[in-house]
Amino acid sequence: MHDIVHEMRPNTVLVSLSRVMRALLILALFVLVGCSNPYRVSMRIHAVAPTGETWYRPPQRIWRFAITNTGDSQVVWNARIEVSGGSDRDYSHAGGHIEWPQGVLAPGQSVFTNMIVPAKTGSVWRASIEFWPLSTQALKKAQDDADRLFGLSVAELCPHPQERKGTYYDEWHH
């Protein structure tokens, strides 16, 4: 019987470690890609211009806004106006009679809507939009529920998981 003795060279150890590291990196990439959402969820809101109309007392300007789904997935969204430096006490936040705009948009789809902005001289405000990815199944369920339930919109009945919420802020306006 012959004893077989393998001579270990330093380069062999380095090559083996290199292969192990490369294999671990490839495995990590497969796990990350396999567990990630293949869709990019992204939206924009932009103040277009004042409409020339006002609401309530003191007269509060109504502005036109463009909302666009710039992502790869359909989304449910809610738009708002944020006032810098606290609150304009005369700002009625839609007067209590008009709901903030909300809806569902497919990828690449846009919508125009109006919102009330603060009337106080020197008020600084911006539009914001919160949005969530929406599966076809969740949208279908919300549509079916809205057909059965009086007074609730599809957007209100769609899921709004806090951990998947995105927010976009427009620039500040004076």
Tell me the per-residue pLDDT of 128-174, one tens digit each, with 9 for 90 and over.
999 999 999 999 999 999 988 878 889 999 999 999 999 999 999 98
| DSSP track, 11-39 | HHHHHHHHHHHHHHHHHHHHHHHHHS-SS
Closest CA to 124 of 36, 22, 28, 47: 47
Tell me the per-residue pLDDT of 81-95, one tens digit each, with 9 for 90 and over.
988 876 666 665 554
Percent of the chain with pLDDT over 70: 71
In order of their start, the domains of the chain are 43-169 (2.60.40)
**Per-residue model confidence (pLDDT) at position 96:** 47
Mean pLDDT of 98-108: 88
**Per-residue model confidence (pLDDT) at position 35:** 42
Tokens read off for 35: 């567990």
Q: 3-state DSSP: the chain helix, strand, coil percent, rounded to 5?
A: 30, 35, 40
Tell me the per-residue pLDDT of 8-56, one tens digit each, with 9 for 90 and over.
555 555 555 567 667 666 655 554 444 444 568 899 999 999 999 987 7
Cβ-contact 132, 158 below 8 angstroms: yes
**Per-residue model confidence (pLDDT) at position 119:** 75
